[in-house]
Structure 1
Amino acid sequence: MSKSGPEYLKMETTNTTEDHIEKIASLFPNVITEIEDDEGILRKGIDFDLLRQELSGGYVEGREERYDFTWVGKRKAIVEANRPIKKTLRPCMEESKNWEDTQNIFIEGDNLDAMKLLQESYLNSVKMIYIDPPYNTGNDFIYNDRFVMDADEYDEETGAVDDAGNRMFKNNKERGRYHSDWCSMLYPRLKLAHTLLRDDGVIFLSIDEHEMPNLRHMMNEIFGEDNYIESIIWKKRSTPPNDKIIGAAHEYILIYSKDIQKLSLNLRERTNEQIERYQNPDNHPKGPWVPGDLMANVKGGRYVKSLNFPIINPNTGEEHYPSSNGNWRFNKDKIDELIKNNEIYFGKDNKGRPKLKRFLSDVKKGITYTTIWDFVPFNTVGSKEMAELLGNLTVFNNPKPSGLIVELLKLGSLNNSLILDFFSGSCTTAHAVMQLNAEDGGSGTRKFIMVQLPEPCCDEGSEALKAGFHTIAEIGKERIRRAGEKIKAELEEANRQKTLDGEQMKIPDIGFRVFKIDDTNMKDVYYAAEDYTQETIEGLVDNVRGDRTDTDLLYQVMINWGLPLDLRHEMETIDGYTVHIVDGNALVACFEANISEDVMRTIAEKKPLRAVFRDGSFRNSPGKLNIEGIFKTIAPDTKLRVI
């Protein structure tokens, strides 16, 4: 008897088909696949062509062999990436921080919609992407074709509950759609991410062993196998869990480029300990150095006569030869030059073999990264960071430590880079961007775009709920606010401790603009002829939804016109009409009703690159023609639009 009590009897007949499949799977696991039944449900099935081949001693004719990676639902996933949507981003100034001055963005909503909405404004603009998607461990996400949702929503939509309200299944390894759903969820998002990345950009993807092979396949297909860089093994904990014979103490971070020929990555910074190894005991004019080997790394001890000669110590006259059948790294002329310039070290008191002086001034500005990262914080540090900022909230199981993301930023970003994380969770990436900008003395100008679904995160009575947090998005936004204030306080304290002559560090951008994904601002004005009534006809006079503001309209226009969301936005009043001015003269908009010709002329005199008005801004149809004439005369180069 287990601690939870006796096992329940299954009050139903045995599913013999499933039993047979499991028996075959134990013998030939490679023939197990996922198939769609007559009801459109994905179930565990058998690739009979492959099974026939396994049971035959010769070649069995079947479908044409080819190297491919597929799953049930892949075609739908490809279509989903290209499917247009009628959505918009609505600005939420009350939840933002430093709206007027910040260049950071937080988008609340489905990341697939967000990626589509960002296509025009940020095409080929992102230097670095980092994502930490669901690992598909069997309980970390529920997926229904288009987006991750909470269990109750999923059950309501799919009918996956019985009359008593009991759930009938969840996304676990026993379900036939286990891998397919995960691939279908992630594939379209990765396709859209590829278009946002700059040609010299890089994407980092955290994953564990559950879906590592499938993620590699998807990335090879979307980004190209030639653009695969490496897989980092991150040691996430100091000791393995003790509930298994072999406990996982690591995760992976896959690295892909957009175009490996144009990729730019940075070397790892030397630690103070590494720099201190360089000394200058002989006051050499080139500065500190360390002794290095003069022997060549000759594979198999290949002998090169011209590189085998005695090196004579000028201080003692002693001759030194390479080791048996070995070679020096340089020819005699080069060695003589090095000796002349005091760049060969003969050991303390001239009693050692010759070594090459490797000067700090000659080596690269950093060192090469390795694929094993055991020099960054463990996962437990991420939990401590959250506790320090938000209190003991057990919403996230070991969120990534900001130190890990800081190191990835050092590797993959430039000072003024745009960083995207579309599975932002607790917003560790945003925290790391602000932290690294601060470490640059406040001069760092990296900016971020975070995207997070407002996914319910708390059980009733939880500490997080008591603290006022209902969704993961709310926690992420609050973390950015508090992490930013902590960074600001630390820099201000450091500045106070400096002398009057000390260089003062700047406070980096610690603000962010919040946008929420919603349906388009425009009414659906398409009706069948018989559906028109006097009420609907009157409603068509204004084609904008009644609950939308001028600012809502402005940012949908900016998205449609492909303008970044962080551009400076000012409002000006002209003869009582509110005029929106974006980035100086990039865009001027007025959505007021019945705009006078004088106001239109004043706007045209600003000679904006783009100007937009509301359909209801004109008193009548001739008014629309009038505005065209005004702009053709005063600002002929302005792109004029009406919504």
Structure 2
Amino acid sequence: MEKLRMTSPDLTDANIDKLAELFPTVMTESVDADGNVKMAVDFDLLRQELSDHVVEGPQERYQLDWPGKRAAAFAANAPIAKTLRPVREESVDFDITKNLFIEGDNLDALKLLQESYLGKVKLIYIDPPYNTGNDFVYDDDFAESTLEYLRKSGQADETGTKLVANTEANGRFHSDWLSMIYPRLRLARDLLASDGVIMISIDDNEVANLRKVADEVFGAGNFEASFVWQRKQSPQRDATNISATHDHILVYSKRHPSDRQDASGWLARILPMGDEQLDRYKNPDNDPRGFWSSSDCTINKTAKERPNLYYPVRNPSTGEDVYPSQNRTWIFGRSSMERLISENRLWWGERGANFPRVKGFLSENQQGVRPQTLLLRTLVGDNQAATREVNALFPEGNVFDTPKPTSLIKHLCFVANVRADDIVMDFFAGSGTTADAVMQLNAEDGEARRFVLVQLAEEYNENSLAHGLGFVTIAATARERVRRAGIGILAKAGLHGQDLDCGFRTLRVDTSNMVDVLRTPDATDQLALDQLEGSVKPGRSGEDLLFQVLLDWGLEVTMPIVVEQINNREVFIVEGGALIACFDETLPPELVHEIAKREPLRAVFRNSGFASDDARINAEQVFREVSPATDVKAI
């Protein structure tokens, strides 16, 4: 029940509403004293609207700007004291899989992956939350203290972490949505390979702004296409006047065409043909070369423009000479046309009396089907197909609101030419469709594509069906979807699926493993010195430390890990010796010597594990003598 305002009306707001109705072009967004986004009037534009001459004002320039843009840029660059912690019990084939599922805020995850996956991702597909008023939550504040933020917004969780919800009150504004997506796109660009592509699903509410902000981040020259995906089978009763049956998918490549030897170097040369495309190929004359389709032999040129392309062609059945229609000419010169006739490549219709068309044989189609911007539901699936896929995996009930069909993601992978061991990333993982699609593709062609998913552990609404079925968070449900999909794919593949990787290594965004031991001299007394010796937080395991080391060293966090006992100490061997680590609290010289004998590329130890400074110096000397090429560090 709404409460009475119990105050006089705000005449300023009423006047702004009237101006918005009369002059919608002068409306903009601003931030009030409390940091809340509100509608505002651009008075320079209003003066222009009310003047009969050009009004002097700020220097005009082409740009996209909004309240909070500088803070969003700062958020992209600000360092964080966080790490990724392994969660074995929520993983599948943890020790051998090359796939990754990260639970946590994707802004944090993208920052943590910057060095390990820099320039390695072939395709990033994301389906970010649409700006509908109440459906995105993000943790993006690095400039304010918790107290400052609480004073500003009055919103925080039990740990004091900032949670900004795009509520109905402010969700209709564009600024909050842009501040959410902008830093994530900036970080995503660095992860793309030189021939990498990002594809972003969006609806009409923010497609114009997304195009502008993506032009800024990736470069307007790197815009490749805007796919229109038919997501609904037929018009439905929507709240708006016109039923929206489509979404957009914006496509940007990493490098500008002028920087590439091939302007479409990322594009697949041969795309698989859908049923609609294959249906065009027939063989009504039983041509021994197989199925073919026909195309027009003429172009839109006049005989005056191209006299050499305007000549008669004799119909072999009727003996009549045929000319192109008015204002058109043949595509081919006389000699080329004679060759086509001699090779039986002209089709005159089943009765031999039609205007000629040229045959194109399926067996000779080396270029494949050029991808089109219109993605029909019959080719790539729709919302109903996606729901059927999820329901087949979750007979308990519909646990996801708006999943995407795997056929859509598979098609996008084909367009982006994702092959071999390429990496596909989705940092708004949602229902986990991207992982399912990648595993299906690998089962179909035997490739070893890898996926990296990131999903916030956002809890379901208590009234949702998913919550009633016992599913707590979207991240947990997405993992379960990937797990069930993998089981089904392996079962279908049978003996052929022995080499399929349908597992994933689960990592969780968490605070740093290291204790904050920074103190001012005045804040450190003799009694506190023993507290400064331990730099690792209580409860953090050796494996936790290992993954932070992998990130700090810029190594992929899916590298295979073997745990051995050397001198009764736990030792981690990564990628057969790319890194060997021991974080035991006591490091005897025999252990250090044994590790050095294996000549790893990198070695890392717990600093406090050395009995003294002399012991640490001796360990360094051992590596200089036994394995001088090893890079040795301590935490």
TM-score (norm 1): 0.89
User: Is residue 107–residue 183 contact of structure 2 (8 Å, CA) maintained in 1?
Assistant: yes
1:231 to 2:252 alignment: no
SS at match of 2:516: coil
Aligned-partner Cα distance in 2 for 1:320–1:215: 52
- Who is 1:550 aligned against? 542
Once the two structures are TM-superposed, the CA of residue 277 in structure 1 deviates from its matched residue by: 4.6
Once the two structures are TM-superposed, the CA of residue 467 in structure 1 deviates from its matched residue by: 3.3
Bigger Cα displacement from structure 2, 593-602 vs 471-480: 593-602
Once the two structures are TM-superposed, the CA of residue 81 in structure 1 deviates from its matched residue by: 0.5
Q: CA RMSD in A?
A: 2.6
1:291-440 pair list within 5 angstroms = 291-295=294-298, 297-299=299-301, 303-312=305-314, 318-324=320-326, 326-348=328-350, 350-374=352-376, 375=378, 376-415=380-419, 416-440=421-445
The structure-2 alpha-carbon separation of the partners of 1:157 and 1:570, relative to structure 1 and needing over 3 Å to count, comes to farther
1:112 to 2:115 alignment: no
The structure-2 alpha-carbon separation of the partners of 1:509 and 1:113, relative to structure 1 and needing over 3 Å to count, comes to same
Aligned-partner Cα distance in 1 for 2:130–2:562: 43
User: Is residue 284–residue 350 contact of structure 2 (8 Å, CA) maintained in 1?
Assistant: no
User: Is residue 300–residue 328 contact of structure 2 (8 Å, CA) maintained in 1?
Assistant: yes
1:182 to 2:185 alignment: no
SS at match of 1:122: coil
The structure-2 alpha-carbon separation of the partners of 1:60 and 1:325, relative to structure 1 and needing over 3 Å to count, comes to closer
Once the two structures are TM-superposed, the CA of residue 268 in structure 1 deviates from its matched residue by: 3.8
1:529 aligned residue (521, 533, 556): 521
The structure-2 alpha-carbon separation of the partners of 1:399 and 1:551, relative to structure 1 and needing over 3 Å to count, comes to same
Once the two structures are TM-superposed, the CA of residue 553 in structure 1 deviates from its matched residue by: 0.7
1:209 to 2:214 alignment: no
Describe the superposition over 1:110-146 as per-residue Cα deviations: whole angstroms up to 9, x where unpaired. Answer: 1111000000000011111111111111121255643
Once the two structures are TM-superposed, the CA of residue 85 in structure 1 deviates from its matched residue by: 0.8
The structure-2 alpha-carbon separation of the partners of 1:463 and 1:331, relative to structure 1 and needing over 3 Å to count, comes to closer
- Who is 1:453 aligned against? 456
Aligned-partner Cα distance in 1 for 2:246–2:282: 36
1:245 to 2:241 alignment: yes
Once the two structures are TM-superposed, the CA of residue 260 in structure 1 deviates from its matched residue by: 4.3
Once the two structures are TM-superposed, the CA of residue 280 in structure 1 deviates from its matched residue by: 5.1
Structure 2 residue ranges without an equivalent (≥5): 143-148, 157-163
Aligned-partner Cα distance in 1 for 2:382–2:586: 62
SS at match of 1:24: helix
Aligned-partner Cα distance in 1 for 2:498–2:317: 54
Aligned-partner Cα distance in 1 for 2:151–2:34: 18
1:632 to 2:632 alignment: no
Q: How many residues align?
A: 611
Bigger Cα displacement from structure 2, 90-99 vs 428-437: 428-437
Bigger Cα displacement from structure 2, 553-562 vs 397-406: 397-406
Once the two structures are TM-superposed, the CA of residue 301 in structure 1 deviates from its matched residue by: 6.3
1:326 maps to a residue whose letter is R
Describe the superposition over 1:432-473 as per-residue Cα deviations: whole angstroms up to 9, x where unpaired. Answer: 111222222xx121111111111111306x543343321111
Describe the superposition over 1:237-260 as per-residue Cα deviations: whole angstroms up to 9, x where unpaired. Answer: 122232443111111111111114
User: Is residue 129–residue 420 contact of structure 1 (8 Å, CA) maintained in 2?
Assistant: yes
Once the two structures are TM-superposed, the CA of residue 318 in structure 1 deviates from its matched residue by: 4.5
Aligned-partner Cα distance in 2 for 1:576–1:344: 81
User: Is residue 419–residue 446 contact of structure 1 (8 Å, CA) maintained in 2?
Assistant: yes
2:436 maps to a residue whose letter is H
Aligned-partner Cα distance in 1 for 2:303–2:335: 23
2:241 maps to a residue whose letter is I
Once the two structures are TM-superposed, the CA of residue 191 in structure 1 deviates from its matched residue by: 0.3
- Who is 2:250 aligned against? 254
Describe the superposition over 1:319-357 as per-residue Cα deviations: whole angstroms up to 9, x where unpaired. Answer: 333334532222222222333333334444654444322
SS at match of 1:437: helix
Describe the superposition over 1:392-425 as per-residue Cα deviations: whole angstroms up to 9, x where unpaired. Answer: 5455323222222222222224222201111111
Aligned-partner Cα distance in 1 for 2:284–2:251: 42
Structure 1 residue ranges without an equivalent (≥5): 148-153, 162-168, 496-503
Once the two structures are TM-superposed, the CA of residue 510 in structure 1 deviates from its matched residue by: 1.1
2:220 maps to a residue whose letter is E
Once the two structures are TM-superposed, the CA of residue 92 in structure 1 deviates from its matched residue by: 0.6
Bigger Cα displacement from structure 2, 274-283 vs 212-221: 274-283
- Who is 1:498 aligned against? none
Once the two structures are TM-superposed, the CA of residue 291 in structure 1 deviates from its matched residue by: 3.4
Bigger Cα displacement from structure 2, 392-401 vs 195-204: 392-401
1:580 aligned residue (572, 575, 578): 572
Aligned-partner Cα distance in 2 for 1:358–1:176: 53
Bigger Cα displacement from structure 2, 392-401 vs 479-488: 392-401
Bigger Cα displacement from structure 2, 254-263 vs 200-209: 254-263
User: Is residue 457–residue 474 contact of structure 2 (8 Å, CA) maintained in 1?
Assistant: yes
1:87-166 pair list within 5 angstroms = 87-142=82-137, 145-146=140-141, 158-159=153-154
